[in-house]
Chain A
Amino acid sequence: MDAIMLQEKLVERLLCPRVRTARQKEKQYVGFATLPNQVHRKSVKKGFDFTLMVAGESGMGKSTLVNSLFLTDLYKDRKLLNAEERINQTVEIIKHTVDIEEKGVKLKLTIVDTPGFGDAVNNNECWKPITDYIDQQFEQYFRDESGLNRKNIQDNRVHCCLYFIPPFGHGLRPVDVEFMKALHEKVNIIPLIAKADCLTPNEIKKLKDRIREEIDKFGIKVYQFPECDSDEDEEFKQLDKELKECTPFAVIGSNTVVEARGQRVRGRLYPWGIVEVENQSHCDFVKLRNMLIRSHMHDLKDVTCDVHYENYRAQCIQEMTSKLAQDNRMESPIPILPLSTPDVDTEKLIKMKDEELKRMQEMLNKMQQQMHDKEQ
């Protein structure tokens, strides 16, 4: 059986109430093994959210791929700009949000698009708006997390960035290297080979090898699939190994349905043949979809929270404490961020708390001094 199906079956079993009650009848059984089950049910009730960024030059098939991945049409109202409109275009950040529900599980999917990236004659630092956006989301989360009301924090942090590499080159271009290096410590990067249907199988293999080599050479840290647990079965391990050797995935997307081998499938119709998006011998679309949605979505979120966000937070706090030390102010246990758009009430509250803390600190110091004097 397919590893994905195995996983799904397991989840279903845990969620099934009948299994639970049967087990409760056993006397030595305490019952906390149902915790994962409870967590599942709570999460399913709450719903999940996932933010996916797509980056790459225009015409790489990003929108088509997103539509194919999530079986939606997020871009139906999009208007392509003509030459005059594009002359002074800078890189923009555009968000599309869509709520998807499947088998009772709700997903709030946000796609962050980056039109204009790499399209100009001079693309110096064209990734800056993108890194700024990612940092902003981290900053927002940091503030919310440090704030006083933490009930409904919205997580807008970017969990994954799909980077589209053109299939026309002989490997990574300077702009690809610079982009990935600017972002690899802020977000999970998954490089993809776009429009892979213009390459022969040989060319795809050569290009993948070349790109993997160059990623190593330039020290780019792309998203790594987590290692398999040693107690997973052989089949799962084999699938996992195949997945890892297949990166970067060579993908094709399509908004149209064609007739192939007697079935209606998503594909592209050429005079010399039909490319099927979901045919694994045609491209790696299925691998990407399975990895992104069916097996690693949660891990992507975890890595974003545990690694990228923590890095940002540590850096931020370090900067703040070094600034505070410079100003010779007393350190407060709760880091106070300089608010750019001050909310009057919370500012007052924070000021009050700050003063209270200062007073407490002074009292502590006094007491310590008294004790010290007593000892002497």
Chain B
Amino acid sequence: VTIFYFPQNGGSTLLGYIGIDTIIEQMRKKTMKTGFDFNIMVVGHSGLGKSTLVNTLFKSHVSRKSAGWARDEKIPKTVEIKAVSHVIEEGGVKMKLTVVDTPGFGDQINNDNCWEPISKYINEQYEKFLKEEVNITRKKRIPDTRVHCCIYFISPTGHFLRQLDTEFMKRLSHSVNIIPVIAKADTMTLEERQEFKQRVRKELEVSGIEFYPQKEFDEDMEDKSDNDKIREAMPFAVVGSDKEYQVNGKRVLGRKTAWGIVEVENPNHCEFAQLRDFLIRSHLQDLKEVTHNIHYETYRAKRLNENGGLHPISSSDTQESNL
């Protein structure tokens, strides 16, 4: 055992090595053993590549379409919520990934209020969690079905956001983390993409839509500067694919057209890699924390203030009462 002497400014000086820093290692070991949950919702009208993108993000067949539903099923008449879960493992870390799909959104001639089933689902998950929390005997680990992240697919028209896009995002940005992406970005040239992005960002600003990462939740200067960079680059223009091709001697994920191969992970072709790094490699935990500490708390506070306490929800279809 080596003895160190650390001169410190303020705080007590340590006269030896205690080993507090090993707590990080202990946490890591624990997290690896328990694994964790991540729930991602995809919203956008049909044909925008939602399922393909999710499969590409997690490099496995985790979307609803891959779970056996036929590719050419009919468009449902109302928005349905279909959740599919898989456990994926990487580097000893287990993740229970749930992909929540919303077929039927924006596909009808009259799409008034098509966001309501989605809003209802999100609130129902909060309600489930809340009920578990206020129980007298609580489970050790409350199963977390709350939606941590909602990816909203913007159609690459090249002009503006559609009315439905702003309506949806306005209504839901306060109850869930919304990450807008420009779908099927290989429809636009780089120039068109930049112009479109700028117009979209301006419209989001004008409509007061706060997408994730929200400015108001930046904790410190470091966060702010990192997140500013990300906010400047959003919405990411993405392309998804589950097919591989040979390019310059490497096997890459891409789309093969008559005039070239669009490489999904090539940052000169599209921003998929940026989205993946942002979503999974740097902000995955933050998405969960913002959902838990902010969105969920907002919901909880609202519920506790309603009717002076926790009663079974009058309009919903859950039947239990815990108090």
Q: How far apart sit A270 and B167, CA to CA, in the bound complex (Å)? A: 32
- Contact (Cβ within 8 A) A272 B260: yes
7 sample A-B contacts, Cβ–Cβ < 8 Å, listed by A number: A86-B160, A124-B109, A174-B75, A174-B107, A197-B257, A198-B186, A270-B190
Q: Which bucket holds chain A's interface residue count?
A: 35 or more
Q: How long is the Cα–Cα vector from A270 to B269 in the complex, in angstroms?
A: 8
Map CB proximity to B onto A231-274 as digits: 1 under 8 Å, 0 otherwise: 00000000000000000000000000000000000001111111
Q: Are B163 and A119 in contact (CB under 8 A)?
A: yes
Q: A57-B157, A124-B109, A168-B184 are in contact. Are A271 and B269 (CB under 8 A)?
A: yes
Residues of A within 8 A of B255 (CB): 200
What number of residue pairs across chains A and B have CB atoms under 8 A from each other?
116
Contacts of A154 in B (CB 8 A): none
Other-chain contact of B257, A60, A123, A124, A201 (Cβ < 8 Å): A201
How far, in whole Å, are A83 and B207 apart by their CA atoms in the complex? Answer: 9
Interface flags, B204-238, vs A, CB<8A=1, else 0 = 00110000000000000000000000000000000
Pair A270/B207 contact, Cβ less than 8 Å: no
CA of A80 to CA of B112 in the docked complex: distance in angstroms? 24
Residues of A within 8 A of B107 (CB): 173-174
Residues of B close to A167: CB separation below 8 A: 187
A119 / chain B contacts, CB cutoff of 8 Å: 162-163
**Residue of A82, A83, A274 contacting most chain B CB atoms (<10 Å):** A83
Q: Are A58 and B157 neighbours in the complex by a CB distance under 8 Å?
A: yes
Residues in A whose Cβ lies below 8 Å from that of B189: 268-270
A-B pairs, 7 with minimum CB distance: A59-B157, A273-B260, A273-B259, A272-B260, A169-B47, A168-B47, A198-B187
Task: Output the nearest chain B residue to A175 by Cβ-Cβ distance.
Answer: B109
A281 to B259, CA, bound (A): 9
Q: B75 — which chain A residues lie within 8 A by C-beta?
A: 173-174
- Closest residue of B by beta carbon distance from A118: B109
Q: Please name all residues of chain B whose beta carbon is closer than 8 Å to the beta carbon of A86 when the two chains form the complex.
A: 160, 163
Main SS class of interface, A: loop
**Does A87 sit at the interface, judged by CB under 8 A?**
yes
Q: Which residues of B contact A168 (CB under 8 A)?
A: 45, 47-49, 155, 183-184
Residues of B within 8 A of A276 (CB): 259
User: Which of B45, B203, B261, B262 contacts A83, CB < 8 Å?
Assistant: B203
Residue contact A271 to B47, C-beta cutoff 8 Å: no
Chain A residues within an 8 Å CB radius of B158: 59
> Are A272 and B163 touching (Cβ within 8 A)?
no
Interface residues of A in 166-182 (CB under 8 A from B): 166-171, 173-175, 178
Contacts of B108 in A (CB 8 A): 174
Please, which residues of chain B bring their CB within 8 A of the CB of A197?
Answer: 186-187, 257
Nearest neighbor of A210 in chain B, beta-carbon distance: B72
Name the residue of chain B whose CB is nearest to the CB of A281.
B258
Q: Residues of A contacting B123 with CB < 8 Å?
A: none
In chain B between 130 and 165, which residues have their CB closer than 8 angstroms to a CB of chain A?
155-164
Q: For B45, list chain A residues within 8 Å (CB).
A: 168-169
**Known contacts A170-B72, A174-B75, A197-B187: does B262 contact A272 (CB below 8 Å)?**
yes
Give the Cβ gap from B208 to chain A, nearest Cβ, in Å: 12
Choose among A119, A270, A273 the residue with the greatest number of B CB atoms under 10 Å from its CB.
Answer: A270
* Interface pair B160/A80, CB less than 8 Å apart: yes
Q: CB within 8 A of A195: which of B49, B72, B187, B190?
A: B187
Q: How far is the CB of A61 from chain B (nearest CB, A)?
A: 8
A282 on the B face (CB < 8 A): yes
A58 to B155, CA, bound (A): 11
**Cβ-based interface call for B125 (8 A):** no
Check if A35 is an interface residue, CB within 8 A of chain B: no
Decide if B34 is an interface residue (CB 8 Å cutoff). no
A61 to B156 CA separation, bound complex (whole angstroms): 11
Task: Map CB proximity to A onto B163-197 as digits: 1 under 8 Å, 0 otherwise.
Answer: 11011000000000000000110110110000000
B123 to chain A, nearest CB (A): 22
Q: Does A275 contact B (CB under 8 A)?
A: yes
Given known A-B contacts A57-B157, A282-B258, A170 and B111 have beta carbons under 8 A apart: no
User: Is A326 an interface residue, CB under 8 A from the partner?
Assistant: no
- Most B CB atoms within 10 A — which of A81, A86, A167? A86
Are A171 and B258 in contact, with the CB atoms below 8 A? no
Q: List which B27-74 residues lie within 8 A (CB) of chain A.
A: 45-49, 71-72
Chain B residues 245-295 with CB under 8 Å of chain A are 255-263, 266, 268-269
Given A87-B163, A121-B112, A270 contacting B186 (CB threshold 8 A): yes
- In the bound complex, how far is the Cα of B111 from the Cα of A126, in angstroms? 13
Tell whether A120 is near chain B: CB-to-CB under 8 Å: yes
> Which of A178, A198, A268 has the largest number of chain B CB atoms within 10 A?
A198
Q: Which residues of A contact B183 (CB under 8 A)?
A: 168
Q: Contacts A60-B157, A270-B189 given: A198-B259 contact, CB under 8 Å?
A: no
Residues on A with beta carbons closer than 8 Å to the beta carbon of B262: 270, 272
Chain A CB within 8 A of B22 CB: no
Tell me, rounded to whole Å, the shortest Cβ–Cβ distance linking B109 to chain A: 5
Task: Please report the C-alpha to C-alpha distance between residue A292 and residue B319 in the assembled complex, in whole angstroms.
Answer: 63
Q: Are A270 and B160 in contact (CB under 8 A)?
A: no
Check B8 for interface membership: any CB of A closer than 8 A.
Answer: no
Measured in the bound complex, the distance between the Cα atoms of B72 and A82 in whole Å is 35
Complex CA gap A58/B165 in Å reads 14
In this assembly, does A315 line the interface, its C-beta being within 8 Å of a C-beta of chain B?
A: no
Q: Is the CB of B46 within 8 A of A200?
A: no
Centre residue among A87, A121, A273 by max chain B CB count within 10 A: A121
Chain B residue nearest in CB terms to A201 = B258
A274-B259 in contact (CB<8A): yes
Q: In the complex the two chains form, is A270's CB within 8 Å of B260's CB?
A: yes
With both beta carbons as reference points, the residue of chain B lying nearest to A87 in the complex is identified as: B163
C-alpha spacing A274/B156, complex, angstroms: 19
Alpha-carbon gap, A123 to B108, bound state (A):
9
| A375→B306 CA distance, assembly (Å) | 98
Contacts of A120 in B (CB 8 A): 163
Question: A174 to B110, alpha carbons, bound, how many Å?
Answer: 10
Contacts of B47 in A (CB 8 A): 166, 168-170
> Residue A370 at the B interface, CB < 8 A?
no
Contacting A198 at CB < 8 Å: which of B46, B166, B184?
B184
The distance from the CB of B155 to the nearest CB of chain A, in whole angstroms, is 7
